[in-house]
Structure formats: C-alpha cells, structure tokens
Amino acid sequence: MTVLVVGSVALDSVETPFGKADEVLGGSGTFFSASASHFTPVQLVGVVGDDYPVERLEALRERNVDLSGVERAEGESFRWRGRYRHDLNTAETLETRLGVFSHFRPKIPEAFKKAPYVFLANIDPRLQLDVLSQVERPRLVVCDTMNFWIESRRSDLIDLLTHVDVLMVNDAEARQLTEHNNLVKAARWILARGPKFVVIKKGEHGSLMFTSSTVFYAPAYPLEDVFDPTGAGDSFAGGFMGYLARAGVLDEVHFRRAVVYGSAMGSFAVERFSIQRLLEITVPDIRDRLDDFRRLVTFEEELAT
Amino acid sequence: MTVLVVGSVALDSVETPFGKADEVLGGSGTFFSASASHFTPVQLVGVVGDDYPVERLEALRERNVDLSGVERAEGESFRWRGRYRHDLNTAETLETRLGVFSHFRPKIPEAFKKAPYVFLANIDPRLQLDVLSQVERPRLVVCDTMNFWIESRRSDLIDLLTHVDVLMVNDAEARQLTEHNNLVKAARWILARGPKFVVIKKGEHGSLMFTSSTVFYAPAYPLEDVFDPTGAGDSFAGGFMGYLARAGVLDEVHFRRAVVYGSAMGSFAVERFSIQRLLEITVPDIRDRLDDFRRLVTFEEELAT
C-alpha cells in the first residue's frame, strides 16, 4: 500500500572526515522516499525552487516515487550546508537557506488524499496538522519533529500528538519535549498525549520503541565507517513506514520489525553521501542486513547451527 | 566452578539525585563478588584497612564468597566519595583516599591458585600480571582497566593483553586505549593484541561483544529510575563470569548469554545504593530479568504467542 510523505526536498553540501559533497540531493522527503521505495510505492509532497536540478529526482521516479506533489516555486531551493567532525554524531550546521521552503504550504494532490500511510516529516506542526486535515482517514500516521518546533510551536505540537499514531524523534528531542531526562519517563509522557507508539532514535546507540506496556530495543548496525550521517533518521522512517505499508499488519511484532527495517535502511544511508547508497542497494542487500541484525542480538542456541 | 576475583574492597560515599549514602560497601571486588555469587562460589582477594567494618562483609560470606584472601593491613581503608548529577551517566569524584590499597600486593592463597575462572578487576596492570604469575593455568581470564592505567602503564597493559582471554572495558577506555573513535575499529585493534573476546560497555546504551568474526549487542535494561550507577560495571563482570563459571561451556552462545547475564546484574546493581539490591535478589528475579531482556530485543513471531 502507498505511503504519503510530506517533507523537504533540498540541496545539501556536506563535509565529513571522509570527503566533501556539494549540492547533492537532500531533505527529509528525499531520504524518506529513497528508503521507503524499496518496500512500497511512495507519494512525495514538497517544494523546490526554480533552480532545482529536478532531472536528478528521476532516479526516485524510476523507483516508484510519485513526484506529482513536488511543487516548483519561484525562487531559491532549500539549501543546507553542514559539517561532521571526527565523532560523526552531531552535525554542525554551517548554513541554512530555506528559500522557497519558508513559504511551503503543502497541497495534497487529489490522487494522494486516500493514502493509507502518512509520514509527516519534520516541518512546522501547523503544517503537519494542515496535511492531516487534507487527507482521508489514513490507517497510520507517523510524525517527526525537531528542537526548533518543540521550542517555538509547543502547543501546536502537543495538539498534533493527539492526531498521530507514532511519534518518531531522537533522544535529545524526546528529552526536550517532555522535560524528562530518563527516556522511559519521556516515552510515558508522550504516550499519555496520544500516540500509541513512540520511537526514540539514539543514533549510533540504536533505537527504542515504547508502547504503554512494552519496550523494544534495536541496536544500530556496528559500521566500521560511517561515511555521512545526513539523512539517517529519515531513511530510518522510510524503512519503518515502507515495511509496515508493505506488510499491512499493524500489530506489535510488525512494528518491531519495522524498527529493524528502519535501522537497516538508516545504516545503508550513512555508507555514502546523499541518497547514493539507498539507490544502489537491492532487496537481497536489505535481507542480508536484516539477518545481520538478527545475529547481532540473538543469544539463543540457534546461533550454534 | 569457582571464580577468583582480585580487586578493591572500599567504602563509598555517594550522592545521587535520589539520596545520599555514607561509607557503604564498595569497590570492584565487592560488587563483583556480590554479583557472581548468585551463580557460583567466589574467592575474593583484596585488602582493607584496620578501620574496615569487616562484619559487614558477612553478608558476602553467607553467599558463598570466600573472604580468606582479603588481607587486613594497618592503616586506612580505601575510600571513594562521588556524586552523580541529573543525567547519572558520569560520576564526579569528590575524593579518593587510597589508604592501604596504594600498597596492595595481591597474594593469592594456596587454596585459590587453581581457580579456573579469574577476573582481574581494575588495578595496576603490573599487579594484574603478577596475579597471573601466581595462579595455575586458568580456563578463562578476564580483565578490566581504567583511564589512569591506560595513560600511566600503557606498555604493561599491552603486555597483559597477551595473557587474557577477554578484555572488558567501557567505550571511553576502549577509545583511549586504541586511539580509535569507532568501536568496531577499537575492538579490532584489541583483538589483534591477544584477547579472543572484547566486551565494550556503554552504560545506558548497552554493551557490545566482539570476536574476530562476530559482533553481539546487548541493550541496557530500560530502567525508569537509575538510583546509583556505582558498581554497575563490576556487577556486569560478576554476572558475566559467574554465568560462564556455572555453565562451564566457553563457546560463543554462552559468551553471548554471559553478556546478557552481566547486563541483568548491572541493571539490578543500580537500583539501590552499594550492593544492597544485589544481596536482595533471588534466582527467580534474575530469571525474570533475563526474560525481559529476551522480550526487549525479539522481533520474531514468537512474540505474538
């Protein structure tokens, strides 16, 4: 089944200890789509400026990503320039130019309004709410957010929580939103405000998924070289949603597997700049990585076989 | 089978956001023994001053810990005073008084020299080497260390590595020792210098065990309240060694389970001050926590049953 994603389509310039990339495809919508499209058709809603190299999005279109919701507006495209130092855990933003993204008002095309799976990538919570008012009763709504909105749009964000099934944030965001340092308490706080599931991503330390009565933990894949962490979170979300949309079953086991698929896709994303690695990999690659994740956590006899 | 541990027996004074404890039982040897004794008989070698409340160690003796290797020397006992702030991840040392521990020269009693399992807690690597020269071909030698020795006794430590089967350190120590920020690379560096297994503990982020061809990941137990993190690492080591000594099988599956038992014992230790919680728990408590760890990481169908 189809996944609708509303997010940014940007141009990234990134520096890591391993090299530099200039004006490569970036943005939450882009990473999400490249990742989810391995599992299911994707409908992308976003905006680019009239300077965007749209021909480079062809690679996504070829992979079952419907780009008819990507509006082309007059002006500059969203650009992000960042750097990762030695530890690769935190991006240092050198420059953000929002361009046409600052006036982005998502318009969901008629053909997308029945999308059963909706991912609200990190945009203004007011716009996330507006997207939900445009779509028809999706089966599953997952949303992301960031420190900026937690600070500046707190009440809208809390309103949004009552309309989503899953909140997917990183540990710093969970702590900031809930004012709890302990993640178990933070998750409880969020679950009390609407979502049935909370996924807390901890980068190289893996991720946790909480329900009111259970906790699931998935490690990060122990990579020897993290090439460029940009987009790992949105690639995670793409694997998570893509897998669920494909499986079509929304019980706890499938949500747990979705977290592992998310971790797998995140681990691929960081192996190259931009969406390069996500475009290269195949179904067997993903299956092999899932097997690696299984081996990584098992402590049962089956290992011996 | 018996586990021999050589380490410190101290008096800790600890402040956490949840309360204060003064002059309570502490030290690596103490935590290790309290933990391992749930699985197997323990032989403890250490030193205390003539001011040590040895009667308080009775609780350990009752639990199968042979204290005949705990020397009583003239002078002050080893005392550590520390504080944990809100995040509970890093101890702030307020005072360390080594006392008799600064002249500690471990003498392994005759009756202990055949111990098949040996844990070298965090002491001077020269003393760790000296302990190994006193014992008779143990089946398994595991050692810990710390930043101070990595800096001041680097070459002795590297010599020690050629004599141990497992190095068990935290992530900061692994990075400092190997000068690799990436833990996969750090583990490879260590494995090339002797140990067959490297266990890297990451506190609330769980732990990783590496061999030359495999990686195992065990999460930390997601506790809502970490009361006092002191001794978590040595309690981990106690669960790890205790389980292996009891199981008596040194293959990868058992090592993996040992890591999970270690994580479980570490998670108990932090629920109260000192070794209090470790003395309270019973075999069913440990078994229940193991089941929790299983549920925490499983993403297979069995969950549904």
Give the mean pLDDT of chain B.
Answer: 95
pLDDT of residue B90: 77
The DSSP bridge partners found for residue B97 are B79
For B51, counting Cβ atoms within 10 Å of its Cβ (0-12 exposed, 13-18 middle, 19+ buried), the class is middle
Rounded Cα gap, residues B87 and B260, in angstroms: 24
Bridge-based pairing of strands A19-26 and A91-97 is unpaired
Mutate to test the interface with A, among B86, B297, B301 (most CBs of A within 10 A): B297
Which has more confidence, B17 or B72? B72
Q: Work out the minimum CA distance from A116 to partner chain B, whole angstroms.
A: 24
* Cross-chain CB nearest to B184 (options A224, A251, A300): A224
pLDDT digits (tens, 9 = 90+) for B192-206: 999 999 999 999 999
How far apart, in whole angstroms, are the C-alpha atoms of residue A104 and residue A122? 13
- The residue type at A238: G
Find which of A183, A249, A297 to mutate to test the B interface (most B CBs within 10 Å of its CB): A297
What mean pLDDT comes out for the span A133-142? 97
Please, what is the average pLDDT of chain A? 95
Helix (H) or strand (E) holding A4: strand A3-6
Smallest CA–CA distance, residue A232 to chain B, in Å, is 17
For residue A217, the SS3 value is: strand
The pTM (predicted TM-score) of the whole model is 0.94
Q: Which of B183, B251, B257 comes nearest A222 by C-beta?
A: B183
| pLDDT the model gives residue B93 | 92
CB contact at 8 A, A125 and A145: yes
The fraction of chain A above a pLDDT of 90, given in percent, is: 93
- C-alpha to C-alpha distance for A281 and B105, rounded to whole angstroms: 58
Quote the pLDDT of residue B226.
86
Q: If you count them, how many residues does chain B have?
A: 305
In the Cβ-directed half-sphere of A165, how many Cα atoms lie within 13 Å? 16
Residue B225's pLDDT is 84
Query: DSSP assignment, residue A150?
Result: H
DSSP state of A50: T
- Which residues from B are below 8 Å from A when comparing CB atoms? 86-87, 181-185, 202, 205-206, 208, 214-219, 222-226, 251-253, 256-257, 259-260, 295-301, 303-304
B299 interaction partners in chain A (CB closer than 8 Å): 216, 218, 253, 256-257, 259-260
Provide mean pLDDT across the span A79-84.
95
Contacts with B208 from chain A: Cβ below 8 Å:
222
Residues from chain A contacting residue B222 (CB–CB below 8 Å): 183-184, 208, 215, 217
Q: What is the mean pLDDT of residues A111-133?
A: 97
Q: Report the relative pairing of strands A117-120 and A140-143 from DSSP bridges.
A: parallel
Tens-place pLDDT, residues B230-253: 999 999 999 999 999 999 999 999
What does the pLDDT read at residue A300? 82
Residue B236: the pLDDT is 98
Residue in chain A lying closest to B224 (CA): A184
Residue B304 confidence class, pLDDT cut points 50, 70, 90: very low
For chain B, percent of residues with pLDDT exceeding 70: 98
How many CA atoms does the CB half-sphere of A122 hold within 13 Å?
21
**Which tens digit of pLDDT belongs to each residue from B159-178?**
999 999 999 999 999 999 99
Which residue of A lies nearest to B182 if distances are taken between CA atoms?
Answer: A224
Instruction: Measure the CA–CA gap between A101 and A144, rounded to whole angstroms.
Output: 17
CB contact under 8 A, A256 and B208: no
Question: What confidence tens digit (pLDDT) does each residue in A210-242 have?
Answer: 999 999 999 999 998 889 999 999 999 999 999
Can you say how many angstroms the Cα of residue B237 is from the centroid of all Cα atoms in its chain? 3
Q: Which residues contact A214 (CB under 8 A, 6 or more apart)?
A: A252, B295
Of B185, B252, B260, the CB nearest to A224: B185
pLDDT at site A301: 67
C-beta atoms of B218 and A259 within 8 A: no
Q: What is the pLDDT of residue A305?
A: 41
| Residue keyed to tokens 């490249």 | A34
Query: What's B100's DSSP letter?
Result: G
**Does the pLDDT value for residue A55 go beyond 50?**
yes
Q: What is the mean pLDDT of residues B38-47?
A: 98
- How many CB atoms sit inside 10 A of residue A302's CB? 10
User: Among A173, A198, A201, which residue's Cα sits nearest to residue A188?
Assistant: A198
Exposed/middle/buried for A158, CB within 10 Å: 0-12, 13-18, 19+? middle
- Is pLDDT above 70 for A302? no
pLDDT given for residue B91 in this prediction: 83
List the single residue in A with minimal CA-CA distance to B256: A299
Q: What percent of chain A is modeled with pLDDT above 70? A: 98
End-to-end CA distance of chain A: 36
Confidence of residue A303 (pLDDT cuts 50, 70, 90): low
pLDDT band at B305; cut points 50, 70, 90:
very low
- Strand (E) or helix (H) holding B67: strand B65-72
DSSP B207-236: EEEE-SS-EEEEPPP--S-----TTHHHHH
Q: What is the pLDDT of residues B208-233, one digit of tens each?
A: 999 999 999 999 999 988 899 999 99
Residues in chain B with CB shorter than 8 Å from the CB of A252 are: 303-304
pLDDT at residue B88 in the model: 75
Is the pLDDT confidence value at B10 over 90?
A: yes
Which residue in A has a C-alpha nearest to residue B251's C-alpha? A304
